[in-house]
Amino acid sequence: MNKIRKIGTGVAVAAVAATALTYSSVASFAWEPNKPIEFVIMAGKGGGADKMARLMQSVVEKHKMSAMPLLPVNKPGGSGAEALVHLNGKKGADANHTIMVTLNSFYTTPLRQPALGVDPLSFAPIARMAEDTFLLWVHKDSGIKDVDGFVKAAKAKGNDWIMAGTGKASEDNLLTDFLNSAYGLSMKYVPYKGGGAVAKQLAGQHANSTVNNPSEQEGFYAAGDTVPIAAFTDERMAMFPDAPTFKELGKDFEYYMQRSVVGAPKMSAEALAYYQGLFKNVFDSDEWQAYRKKKSLRGDLISGDAMKVYWQTNNEIHRQMLIKMGAIKG
Amino acid sequence: MRRAELVTALLMAALSIYLMVKSAELPIGWVPDEGPGGGSFPFWLSAAMLLSCLWILYNWYRRTSPPSQSDEPFMDSYAARSFALAGGGVTAMIALVHVVGMYGAVPLFLIFYIRFLGRHSWTTTVSIAVGATVGAFFFFDVALRIVLPKGYLEPLFIPLYSIFL
Amino acid sequence: MEILGLLGNGFLVAFEPLNLGLIIFGVTVGLFIGAMPGLGSVNGVAILLPMTFLVPPASAMIFLAAIYYGAMYGGAISSIMLGIPGASTAVATTFDGRPLALQGKADTALVVAATASFIGGTVSILLFTGFAPALAHIALDFGDPEIFALMLLAFATFVGLSGDDIPKTIFSICIGLVFSAVGLDIMSGEPRLVFMNITGFMHGINFLVLAIGVYGIGEMLWTIEVTRGETQMSKATISLRRIVGHFGEMMRIWKSWTLGSFLGFFVGILPAAGATPGSLMAYGVAKMTAKNPRDFGKGEPAGVAAPEAANNAASTGSMLPMLTLGIPGSPTTAILLGGMVIWGLVPGPRLFIDETVFVWSLIASLYAANLFAFLINVAFVPVFLWMLKMPFTILAPTIFVLSLIGGYAPTQDMHDVWLMLIFGVGAYMLRKLDYPLAPAVLAIVLGPIAEPKMRQSLLISGGDFSVFFTRPIAGPITIIAIILILLPVFQLIRRKIKESRQAG
């Protein structure tokens, strides 16, 4: 095997030398990818994170922002545990060619599964591209118009009130727990496989309420099947002007889903700088800005040290929420 | 055959027990107001596997299933030889993917099989081996953008990437 | 009338250049795969599914359905010419097809097989078009308990209707379901059955890993052993005049293919039955009802027409429960179902509403695939005969390589490739001992639907099992399923009583 490696390296050196001669004119950055970039998605196909990742990939492709293509690979296993472990193990050139789209399971999964040995704060901070919002949704046939009506109806039904969400101890579960404790409800939380499945449960009236992202409910909202009655944001959203925020209603609570791109922990500083530049270009593109507006995403681009501070704050928030929920010990 | 039936049933029974133990890491009982716990679905199904293994063993004992009546060997010498060569070849190919990547292992396996097991001419062998490898590169790496593993041959592909991707 | 409009739109999509090209290509590939001894539609669809990621889901599905269709036609070719069924679905075709070929009438058998396939396919698609919307309409009211009841029914038919060894069938279903539970328990959010803490198990066991292991690697190892590298091909003389002459023969045996078409369709609809039992039953019934039952097995064209009409009719029929209810009617449709899940299409009641264009273009493509399969089959018989001479020592390594790459592509993880090898070798060993493996493949596809549905139902009902019995749709389905599961037990008891009576 040693011999094979040596021959391989020898051939490689020759090949690299030959390429360097032919393609030296392309090199304008300090570091450039020289093989396809693995673009890990920490969630399954068809979800919000997946759609967003594929949009970013198509923007990079369309404007030829990178010499090498981004190759999306879904690794939803273990609520993202598999993806985190995968990036954690990347070394050398591989570490410089592996990036990942991440969400809030970036905090919750390592907190809930300490055995993985993954520290989210050690990942390379490339860019926070946006924050997704959450709203409280009900079916239009329920006749519920506002939070007061919702609380009344949910109280009357006790634990027969079904709140559908995506997985146990997920964002939806955290929000359900908040509603239960803030309004003294005892809604029953039923986990489904993804945001899309959850939205369908509500549209088919198999569930009484959900806390979907706007992008997950937009089809049913447009068709008039479902209505948002309140937003978990700091101010009202342009798309849903009739849905007040919980802050307006006197509950000091807001919650967002991060939509970020991170690199493998062992990524070199030069490579990190390259990807930070790349995703700044993606962020500034017309397509991305149009998407942000259409899906009512919020949050500016942050990267580098600012992003690390953002992670620290949010990691702590999630730790507290999970402790309160009883999912982890303090 | 009769002995193989017994050994397999015992092995599968052992596998069932392992799966039951492994499933029991999560609650296998009834969670009040929620229904079965997280481990119950695989646990009780593994238990059903174990029961069907016992049923198979009972049939073996009573000689009611065809394999338990047969005196033929499980694998005669031809079967054993072809299994060792084909199965061993595939295993070696998969192992080689870790070393020389898909594009090293695939042609080596094709040459081994077509030339040394099939005794076809070198012309046939090489044209299929090379054709399949080049075809796979263009279909997967270039068209589908599914980059197959390269192992230690990766540096060789870097110039190809910059041309085709 | 609404159906005709929807179907018309479907045809517009199916005849887009990409889709039409894929239909023709898929049918040709299917004919080839079906014609190869040891390879059938299920192998072709399992191994080629990962290759379809290049095209949009609807086109991918059209392509795979065309393969399915083509393979049904192709299976007859090796049954007749080599005497080895190209796939289990063509076993019944060997009974009379092979004797005909040995009498030097291979061309009669081939043309009768192709024509009967075409008729069977066409009748079945017409029935399909009529039944599908009605079934989909009822299916709209389906919630979690109803879907779970249907899953139960699918497994029950496997145990109740299969003639296989019962404990081994149960074992196969259970191991498939247990493997489907690997990964994450979505209800509690806990990792589950992560063997030896290997991270590769966290994403669960992909159904394709098991399917390619069983139908790619396992099947090849099996075929290598069974054929022992020796095959004997019959001679066939084909000319246009003789082909035209055979259509007269078809008129004579109209009863056999009419019967085969209808029987095939209805057997195909039954969950988990599929084309193999359909074609065997059609052969049996055709023989029973014929005026000359003694000629069957000695080269009677009606004995080729009945099973061939039936297996094509059944392959279409088995797509009906897959599309409308989300339960597959055969192992091949189980894999198609898994593919749809990968593409983000949710099979089942809502598919006809949410994905109207997809559904109707698929149905339209079946009409087109049926026609092209017939034309290509008749026109290229000599080419297929030539390809049948392809040595197994070239075909086998090609299939192994396709399996390797096909096992890697969906998740891009070598862990899955190793797992596939283990499943392949295990499948080969178990198959030698008469363990049926199709139930395991079906179970690993249905498991991830069945388990959460059961637990979501119970969570909503507060742990009350009566939800599966008291709801108007779920109740009867559950009860039928339980009766079917217990059917073998009843039979056993009846036999025991009979035996004791005789003894007494």
The chain A residue lying nearest C145, using CA atoms, is A206
Tokens (6 digits) for C303: 């004995």
Sort C496 into a burial class: Cβ within 10 Å, 0-12 / 13-18 / 19+: exposed
Closest CB to A68: pick one of B154, B155, B161: B161
CB pairs < 8 Å spanning B and C: 181
**Which portions of chain A are predicted below pLDDT 50?**
1-27
Helix, strand, coil abundance in chain B, percent, nearest 5 = 75, 0, 20
Q: Which of A4, A12, A23 sits opposite B162 (nearest CB)?
A: A23
Rounded CA separation C353/C478 (Å): 26
Q: How many CB atoms lie within 10 A of CB A200?
A: 21
pLDDT at C319: 87
Note the pLDDT of residue C116.
93
Domain spans of chain C, in order of start: 2-503
pLDDT at A20: 44
Residue in chain B closest to C410 (alpha carbons) equals B146
Map residue A146 onto helix, strand or coil.
coil
SS3 at position A180: helix
Residue of chain A minimizing CA distance to C192: A78
pLDDT for A4 equals 44
CB-based burial of residue C412 (10 Å sphere; 0-12 exposed, 13-18 middle, 19+ buried)? Answer: middle
CA distances from B13 to A38, B17, B53, C175, C375 (A): 42, 6, 6, 11, 51
The rounded distance, in Å, linking the Cα atoms of C323 and A155 is 40
A202, with CB counted inside 10 A (0-12, 13-18, 19+), is: buried
A53 vs C277, higher pLDDT: A53
DSSP assigned state of B113: I
- The rounded distance, in Å, linking the Cα atoms of C346 and C319 is 14
CB contacts, 8 Å: C189 with chain A: 79, 112, 167-170, 191
CA A282 to chain centre: 17
Asked if A69 and B165 come within 8 Å (Cβ–Cβ), the reply is yes
Shortest CA distance to C332 belongs to which of C24, C72, C94? C72
- Sheet containing strand A124-132, edge to edge, reads A70-74, A37-41, A98-102, A257-263, A124-132
What region does A304 belong to: left with phi over 0, alpha with psi -120 to 50, or beta? left
Rounded mean pLDDT, C483-497: 79
pLDDT at C232: 59
For residues C30 and C6, give the distance between their C-alpha atoms in angstroms, rounded to a whole number. 27
Task: Identify the residue among C199, C413, C460 best suited for mutation to test binding to A, counting A beta carbons within 10 A and taking the highest.
Answer: C199
Alpha carbons B49 and C80: distance in angstroms, whole number: 40
Residue C500: enclosing H or E segment and its boundaries? helix C474-503
| C-chain residues near B80 (CB < 8 A) | none
CB contact, 8 Å: A55 with chain C?
no
Q: Tell me the per-residue pLDDT of B26-72, one tens digit each, with 9 for 90 and over.
A: 888 888 777 888 899 999 999 999 999 999 999 999 988 888 888 88
Q: Please give, rounded to a whole number of angstroms, the shortest distance from the CA of C336 to a CA of chain B.
A: 20
Closest partner residue to A71 (CB to CB) among B145, B152, B162 is B145
Neighboring chain A residues of C447 at a CB cutoff of 8 Å: none
Q: What residues in C contact B42, CB-CB < 8 Å?
A: 177-178, 181, 192-193
- Select the more confidently predicted residue: B148 or C231: B148
pLDDT at residue A25, rounded to an integer: 41
Task: Specify the range with the lowest mean pLDDT, choosing from B17-21, B67-71, B110-114, C220-224.
Answer: B67-71
Mutate: best of C53, C159, C171, partner B, most B CBs <10 A = C171
pLDDT tens for each residue of C427-449: 999 999 989 888 888 788 888 87
Sign of the alpha-carbon torsion through C400, C63, C42, A72: positive
DSSP-derived secondary structure letter, B117: I
Q: Give the one of C51, C391, C418 whose C-beta lies nearest to B94's C-beta.
A: C418
Tokens of C116: 């009967």
Position C273 scores a pLDDT of 61
**Do residues C173 and C443 make contact, with C-beta atoms less than 8 angstroms apart?**
yes
- C3 Cβ under 8 Å from any chain B Cβ: no
Residues in chain B whose beta carbon is closer than 8 A to a beta carbon of chain A?
33, 99-100, 145-147, 152-159, 161-162, 165
* Chain B residues inside the 8 Å CB shell of C421: 90-91, 94
Model confidence pTM above 0.95: no
CATH class, A135-231 region = alpha beta
Give residue C161's pLDDT band: very low, low, confident or very high (50, 70, 90). low
Domain covering A29-132+256-325 assigned CATH 3.20.20.70 in the classification: no
Q: What is the pLDDT of residue C179?
A: 95
B2: β partners:
none
Q: Which site among A34, A58, A96, A97 would you substitute to test the B interface, given the most B Cβ atoms closer than 10 Å to its Cβ?
A: A34
Give the Cα separation of A128 and A126 in Å (integer). Answer: 7
Q: Which of A1, A9, A68 sits opposite B165 (nearest CB)?
A: A68
Please tell me the predicted confidence (pLDDT) of residue C121.
92
* Mean pLDDT of the region B90-113: 96
Distance from C-alpha of B21 to C-alpha of B39, rounded to nearest angstrom? 10
Q: Select from C202, C340, C345, C456 the residue whose CB has the most chain A CBs within 10 Å, as the one to mutate to test that interface.
A: C202
Q: Which residue of B has its CA nearest to A71?
A: B145
Q: Given a contact as 3+ CB pairs under 8 Å, which chains touch B?
A: A, C
Provide the terminal-to-terminal Cα distance of chain B, rounded to the nearest Å. Answer: 54
Residues C396-425: tens digit of each pLDDT: 898 899 899 888 988 889 999 999 999 999
CB contact (8 A) between residue C183 and residue A78: yes
> What is the secondary structure of B53-70 as a DSSP string?
HHHHHHHHHHT-SHHHH-
- Choose between B105 and C504: higher pLDDT: B105
The residues spanned by each domain of chain B are 2-69, 77-164
Using an 8 Å CB-CB cutoff, list residues of chain A that contact chain B: 1, 4-5, 8-9, 11-13, 15-16, 18-19, 22-23, 26, 34-36, 38, 67-69, 71, 159
Confidence tier at C231 by pLDDT (50, 70, 90): low
ipTM of the complex: 0.95
User: Would you call C203 an interface residue with chain A, using a CB distance cutoff of 8 Å?
Assistant: yes
Q: Does C412 lie at the interface with A, CB-CB under 8 angstroms? A: yes
The beta-strand segments (E) located in chain B are 30-31, 35-36
Q: Which residues of C20-37 are buried (b: 16+ CB within 10 A; e: fewer)?
A: eebbbebbbbbbbbbbbb
Q: Which two tokens stand for residue A255?
A: 């919650």
How large is the average pLDDT for residues B141-148? 85
Q: In a 10 Å sphere around its CB, with 0-12 CB exposed, 13-18 middle and 19+ buried, how is residue C338 labelled?
A: buried
User: pLDDT per residue over C85-141, tens digit each?
Assistant: 767 788 888 888 888 888 888 888 888 999 999 999 999 999 988 888 877 776 666
Best CA proximity match to C437, nearest among C427, C446, C445: C427
Neighboring chain A residues of C474 at a CB cutoff of 8 Å: none
pLDDT tens-digit series, residues C304-357: 999 999 999 988 888 888 888 777 777 788 888 888 877 777 777 678 877 888
Shortest Cα distance, chain A CAs vs residue C332, angstroms: 23
In this structure, is the dihedral angle defined by the CA atoms of residues A35, A40, A45 and A47, taken in order, positive or negative?
negative
DSSP string, C334-362: HHHHHHHHHTT---STTHHHHTHHHHHHH
